[in-house]
């Protein structure tokens, strides 16, 4: 059985539940969007969960932000297909949904109230876009990438034995 993740914004206007096979908070994204939107340490931690199981209370308080990206990978400027859902009352970032991968949502670990498993290794990504003051804490067993890793969140969980069946 997948694990049930319960999450909420800070003020409680939005609460959600979603099931996940992949609950380990191992993936640290240093991109400019994650950092600005909710990355107090210079990165955000993205989980993956099963979109079809998402239940939201307080839907009317949700806002959706679609970032305009203009960087080396998007030289002409482009609006991200990713829909970053946040609470319009308190500003907490909650999850990302991208219609390119409609079966998944990516809750931010920071919005989850349930206990999460502690990962034995981390993946650091988008390091090319980290802010100068951020000193990534990359352990010997960690993997680090300028842009994206080839390994999916599902594959990481299967390789490390953290996949929840």
Q: Which is nearer to Zn ion, 13 or 116 (CB)?
A: 13
Q: Which is nearer to Zn ion, 111 or 153 (CB)?
A: 111
Q: Which is nearer to Zn ion, 9 or 126 (CB)?
A: 9
Closest separation between CB of residue 94 and Zn ion, Å? 9
| Structure tokens that stand for 22 in this block | 């992949």
How far is it, in rounded angstroms, from Cα 58 to Cα 148? 33
Residues with Cβ within 8 Å of 87's Cβ and at least 6 positions away in sequence, in order, are 9, 10, 11, 13, 14, 58, 61, 62, 63, 94
Closest separation between CB of residue 17 and Zn ion, Å? 16
Q: Which is nearer to Zn ion, 89 or 160 (CB)?
A: 89
Q: Is 60 exposed, middle or buried (0-12, 13-18, 19+ CB in 10 A)?
A: exposed
Give the residues lining the site for Zn ion (CB under 5 A): 9, 11, 13, 87, 89-90
Phi and psi based region of residue 26 (left: phi greater than 0; alpha: psi -120 to 50; beta: remaining): alpha
Q: Which is nearer to Zn ion, 80 or 89 (CB)?
A: 89
Closest separation between CB of residue 45 and Zn ion, Å? 19
How far is it, in rounded angstroms, from Cα 27 to Cα 152? 10
For residue 99, CA distances in Å to 45, 84, 96, 156 come to 20, 12, 10, 22
């Amino acid at each position: 059985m997948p694990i049930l993740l319960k999450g909420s914004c800070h003020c409680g206007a939005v609460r959600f539940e979603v099931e996940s096979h992949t609950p380990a908070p191992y993936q640290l994204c240093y991109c400019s969007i994650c950092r600005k939107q909710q990355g107090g340490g210079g990165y955000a931690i993205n989980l993956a969960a099963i979109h079809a199981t998402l239940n939201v209370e307080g839907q009317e308080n949700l806002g959706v932000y679609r970032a305009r990206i203009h960087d080396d990978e998007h030289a002409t400027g482009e609006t991200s297909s990713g829909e970053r859902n946040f609470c319009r009352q308190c500003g907490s970032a909650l999850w990302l949904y991208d219609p390119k991968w409609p079966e998944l949502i990516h809750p931010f670990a920071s919005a989850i109230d349930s206990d999460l498993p502690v990962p034995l290794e981390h993946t650091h990504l988008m390091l090319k876009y980290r802010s100068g003051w951020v000193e990534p804490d990359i352990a010997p067993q960690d993997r680090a990438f300028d842009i994206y890793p080839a390994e999916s969140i599902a594959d990481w969980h299967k390789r490390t034995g953290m996949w929840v069946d």
